[in-house]
Amino acid sequence: MVYDNEAKNGFVEGWGFSCYVESKVRVLFDTGWDGNILLHNLELAGIDDFDYVFLSHQHWDHIGGLNHVIDRTSYVVVPQSFSGNLKKEISRKAELIEVSEMRKIDDGVYTTGELGRHIKEQSLIVELDKGFFVVTGCSHPGLDVILETAEILGDVRGVMGGFHEFSEIDILRKYELVVPCHCTMHKREILKFENARECYAGCCFRF
């Protein structure tokens, strides 16, 4: 985790969310708000560049740091509903990949596609040796909707990210790993589950 409301081990906290996912390809998921904080935390984590920047939705606390890291990637993946002006600016500095439907992005990396009505949002699905892992931004479309969509691909073994106001938290008990992060209203209750782990800038999970 490289950007969150909470931080430990020399990392700096900031309102927003960003995490680095390394599987068959390297993905920076969201960029937090303050690009300087993001750069500090990336340096501390020893992360120099990535194959993709994957943006969940067009809220300031998830895309604010993009300009500080766009020169470290070749591709930026965004929901098709992003503003035309923003997509034009991104495409000047990296290859823009627009997403509307669920699709494969690269080996072992998928998007749920744009979900939700009022706030369009995509989530990241990472293929594991057995099953899949989901990374969410704020879960505005509903965490249950996101997970059900991801399960089209196969067995979902875990989820991390912002869960927003999602309240049917007992459904999370069936997963192997649950990590509630930025903007999770029921974080305290979820962290009482045996399969839940604390989220903060500086934490790391291997699956």
- Cβ atoms within 10 Å, residue 94: 18
In the chain, the domains with their CATH numbers are 19-190 (3.60.15.10)
* Cα dihedral 81, 84, 86, 91 sign: positive
CA distance 123 to 29: 9
pLDDT value of position 207: 80
Q: For the chain, how many residues are written?
A: 207
> Judging by DSSP bridges, how do beta strands 124-127 and 132-136 pair with one another?
antiparallel
Q: Which residues pair with 132 in a beta bridge?
A: 127, 156
pLDDT value of position 54: 98
Q: What is the pTM of this model?
A: 0.97
- Cβ atoms within 10 Å, residue 191: 15
Distances (CA, A) of 48 to 6, 26, 41, 68, 154: 22, 11, 11, 12, 32
Q: Which two tokens stand for residue 18?
A: 């960003």
pLDDT in tens, the chain (207 residues): 999 999 999 999 999 999 999 999 999 999 999 999 999 999 999 999 999 999 999 999 999 999 999 999 999 999 999 999 999 999 999 999 999 999 999 999 999 999 999 899 999 999 999 999 999 999 999 999 999 999 999 999 999 999 999 999 999 999 999 999 999 999 999 999 999 999 999 999 988
